[in-house]
């Protein structure tokens, strides 16, 4: 293979700044998307475990509909599909204020929300039914039992699979480049355009994603240990990942 | 996102492959496989695109098929087939260097920085960047895009120039032409910039061509070349001879007429200067 590596393209000129900008956009996009995903996930995950079918089935429809359509399609949906439905003035305002970024946030949040929902449902369902009944018998209402007993315990149980989902979300944020969001993968391509050095740019992207993901995994492991309730979930104390 | 997965595989393959095996030349590779593999586009009419009958055709593909493949076949003394793979601005150089394709024949602009990584054939088409806008729009050229939302193609030279010359323009870059055109049609952006000839092609293929106009003077010079692996002068010679023979014999202009003539896909008359420029590139036998 006759290819000359020039690693210095990664820090000469503007490329360093682009990588940093891309990293910040990826983080910004992922954090907002994650917050939306977790909110939707907790709500719909909890609803899916209730005894009232009128609450259960809309949550079920949400999960099945959103997790079974590819993320790329959701990106296009929020970017190309939604704006024409809005009034003209609002449309113009959105176009002037970076609609592609918000379309990306919604696509990521809503799609991963459906996936988080299943993780949370599994967490709630792994809690013995007696715990819920005990909560009710102390005089808590159903909503209070969920809010103060069931969901807090479930959230502790699901930290490992939620870490997985979080990493997926971070990496999936790169799909937003299809609607023109200048995130990290986008910037590595930009470097390729300017320098014609594709391998170096891709390698830089790979390493940044790897470092980000490892950091998140570490952080989540620390959260897991920090919030563990002694005696309730023993695993939390022995895991030293 | 199969394309990305491919890219990562290429990267891994690259690191796994070692340099002590003597690299085989492109002609040896073509001889062994009995086929020339080109990387080309699927959505850049009329250079390379998939037409209504689902055939993968275009001006660049025709040039390879009718001008270059016969020369290679003659040189190797056997009939060579043409295979096509999809390439995009971000994948074309890795595709070449990883030996996945032998020649990039699409709408690739020859630039000095690209010449650090790949070699180019002689220029087979010359154009420049312009804007596609809705009829009656305020944008008339690069002087009038300050503060406007402009779509460009990721990895294109046009985006680079706009970023440098009009930093206040809001540049939104899309991976391919259809997405950029969709954004223009819906108003997410106010203009789409690309090489003039490609915009003319896009307009001709649009559902209502009359609603769109290509505006502005060329704000860049985009000489299209075919790219190949660096330091393989035998192969480069064959490709160049194919193109030169076609220009000298008039075959090039026949193919040009088929795609850009009055009855072609995208009527775009060849200017006398461009014709002269093409002919001047032909060196004597």
- CA dist B125 and B270 (Å) reads 10
Which residue of chain A is at minimal alpha-carbon distance from B7? Answer: A202
For residue A99, pLDDT over 70 is answered with yes
Q: What is the pLDDT of residue A231?
A: 73
Which residue of chain B is at minimal alpha-carbon distance from A76? Answer: B179
Q: What is the pLDDT of residue A241?
A: 43
pLDDT, one tens digit per residue, over B105-158 is 999 999 998 998 899 999 999 999 999 999 988 999 899 999 999 999 887 788
Q: Compare A1 and A132 and report the one with higher pLDDT.
A: A132
Return the beta strands (E) in B54-190 as ranges: 56-57, 81-86, 103-104, 118-120, 125-127, 129-134, 149-153, 170-174
**B26 vs A contacts (CB less than 8 Å):** none
- CA dist A112 and A41 (Å) reads 8
Mean pLDDT on A29-38:
97
Q: Are residues A213 and A167 in contact, defined by beta-carbon separation less than 8 angstroms?
A: yes
Q: What is the pLDDT of residue B266?
A: 87
CB contact under 8 A, A196 and B116: yes
For residue A240, pLDDT over 50 is answered with no
pLDDT, one tens digit per residue, over B261-279 is 988 888 888 888 889 999 9
Q: Are residues A132 and A145 in contact, defined by beta-carbon separation less than 8 angstroms?
A: yes
Q: How, if at all, do strands B227-229 and B118-120 pair?
A: antiparallel
Q: Which of A58-62, A95-99, B129-133, B189-193 has the lowest mean pLDDT?
A: A95-99
| Of residues B7, B17, B117, nearest to A196 (C-beta) | B117
Tokens of B138: 């305020």
- CA dist A176 and A36 (Å) reads 16
Q: What is the pLDDT of residue B70?
A: 96
Confidence band (pLDDT; 50, 70, 90) for A236?
Answer: very low
For residue A234, pLDDT over 90 is answered with no
Buried/exposed A180-191: b ≥16 CB within 10 Å, e otherwise? bbbbbbbbbbbb
Q: What is the ipTM of this complex?
A: 0.77
Q: Compare A241 and A138 and report the one with higher pLDDT.
A: A138
Confidence band (pLDDT; 50, 70, 90) for B181?
Answer: very high
- CA dist B113 and B118 (Å) reads 9
Tokens of B88: 């995009």
Q: Is B146 an interface residue toward A (CB < 8 Å)? A: no
Rounded mean pLDDT of chain A?
A: 90
pLDDT, one tens digit per residue, over B20-41 is 456 789 999 999 999 999 999 9
| Of residues A72, A95, A193, nearest to B187 (C-beta) | A95
């Amino acid at each position: 293979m006759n290819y000359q590596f020039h690693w210095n393209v990664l820090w000469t000129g503007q490329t360093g700044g682009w990588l940093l900008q891309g990293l910040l956009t990826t983080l910004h996009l992922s954090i907002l998307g994650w917050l939306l995903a977790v909110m939707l996930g907790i709500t719909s995950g909890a609803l899916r475990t209730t005894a009232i079918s009128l609450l259960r089935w809309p949550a079920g429809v949400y999960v099945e509909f959103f997790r079974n359509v590819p993320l790329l399609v959701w990106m296009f949906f929020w970017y190309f599909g939604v704006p024409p439905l809005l009034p003209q003035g609002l449309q113009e305002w959105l176009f002037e204020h970076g609609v592609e970024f918000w379309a990306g946030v919604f696509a990521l949040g809503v799609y991963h929300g459906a996936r988080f929902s299943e993780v949370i449902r599994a967490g709630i369902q792994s809690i013995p039914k007696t715990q819920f009944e005990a909560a009710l018998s102390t005089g808590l209402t159903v909503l209070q039992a969920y809010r103060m007993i069931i969901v807090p315990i479930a959230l502790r149980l699901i930290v490992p699979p939620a870490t997985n989902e979080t990493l997926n979300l971070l990496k999936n944020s790169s799909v937003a480049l299809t609607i023109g969001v200048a995130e990290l993968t986008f910037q590595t391509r930009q470097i390729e355009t300017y320098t014609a050095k594709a391998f170096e740019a891709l390698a830089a992207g790979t390493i940044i994603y790897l470092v980000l993901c490892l950091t998140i995994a570490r952080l989540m492991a620390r959260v897991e240990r920090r919030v563990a309730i002694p005696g309730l979930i023993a695993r939390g104390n022995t895991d030293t990942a | 996102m199969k394309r990305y997965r491919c890219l990562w595989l290429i990267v891994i393959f690259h690191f796994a492959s070692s340099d002590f095996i003597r690299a085989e030349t492109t002609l040896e590779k073509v001889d062994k496989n009995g086929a020339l593999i080109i990387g080309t586009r699927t959505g850049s009419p009329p250079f390379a695109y998939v037409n209504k009958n689902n055939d993968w055709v275009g001006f660049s593909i025709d040039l390879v098929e009718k001008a270059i493949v016969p020369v290679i076949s003659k040189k190797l003394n056997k009939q060579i087939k043409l295979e096509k793979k999809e390439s995009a601005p971000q994948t074309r150089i890795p595709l070449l260097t990883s030996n996945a394709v032998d020649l990039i024949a699409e709408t690739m602009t020859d630039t000095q920085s690209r010449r650090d990584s790949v070699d180019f054939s002689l220029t087979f088409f010359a154009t420049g960047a312009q804007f596609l806008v809705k009829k009656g729009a305020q944008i008339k050229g690069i002087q009038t895009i300050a503060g406007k939302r402009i779509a460009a193609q990721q990895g294109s030279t046009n985006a680079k120039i706009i970023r440098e010359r009009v930093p206040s323009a809001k540049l939104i870059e899309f991976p391919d032409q259809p997405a950029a055109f969709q954004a223009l049609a819906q108003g997410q952006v106010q203009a789409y910039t690309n090489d003039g000839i490609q915009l003319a092609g896009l307009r001709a293929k649009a559902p209502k061509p009359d609603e769109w106009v290509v505006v502005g003077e060329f704000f860049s010079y985009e000489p299209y070349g075919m790219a190949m692996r660096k330091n393989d002068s035998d192969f480069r010679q064959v490709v160049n001879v194919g193109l030169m023979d076609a220009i000298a014999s008039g075959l090039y202009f026949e193919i040009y007429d088929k795609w850009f003539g009055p009855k072609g896909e995208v009527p775009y008359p060849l200017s006398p200067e461009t014709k002269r420029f093409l002919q001047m590139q032909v060196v004597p036998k």
